[in-house]
Amino acid sequence: MTTINLLLVDDEKPFIETLADRLRKRGFTVDCSFSGIDALNQLENNKTIDVVVLDVKMPGLDGIKTVKKIKKKHPLVEVIMLTGHSTILSAVEAIKLGAFDYLTKPCDINELISKVKQAVSRKKEREAKIFDIRIKLYITKQERDEMISKILES
């Protein structure tokens, strides 16, 4: 298995550090961020992040606004929303904005790992499709861009 790179984002520092330790012990590469703004900066500086596990309720830039910005600038990075304040409205909104899934705290570590692996699988599948489109001969740039957009929207 190749290394899976995670970015955990939550303003609850003890929670995120404990979760990071548990995931590292299971072979994941994990970075932590304690705000939406810091998460966006880390994504700019670290192009190897596969999945962001993102808290919904945070001061400043909350999780919903953060996922929107992540998907706009880094559409292939998968986002799993994680919150102790689950509402159907926030779950639906997060999924509409492109989040891969939505889990509630406290979540089972094995369930989180399963979702992360599914998200990475989706990311790799989408990357492969985009690669195939980019190397196609005899299509216009506009056709190529439209095909890639459809993949990113799915």
| DSSP 8-class letter at 139 | -
Angstrom distance (rounded) from CA 53 to CA 130: 24
* Confidence (pTM): 0.90
Domain of 78 in residue numbering reads as 5-123
Enumerate the β-bridge partners of residue 9.
33, 54
Q: Is the Cβ–Cβ distance between 83 and 90 less than 8 Å?
A: yes
CATH number of the domain where residue 27 is located: 3.40.50.2300
In a domain, 28, yes or no: yes
pLDDT at 95: 84
Question: 103-130: per-residue pLDDT in tens?
Answer: 888 889 999 999 999 999 999 999 999 9
Question: 131-154: per-residue pLDDT in tens?
Answer: 999 998 889 999 999 999 999 887
**Cβ burial, residue 1 (10 Å; 0-12/13-18/19+):** exposed
Range name among 3-7, 88-92, 133-137 with the lowest pLDDT average:
88-92
Question: 15-63: per-residue pLDDT in tens?
Answer: 999 999 999 999 999 999 999 999 999 999 999 999 999 998 888 888 8
What is the tally of structural domains in the chain?
A: 1
| DSSP 8-class letter at 108 | P
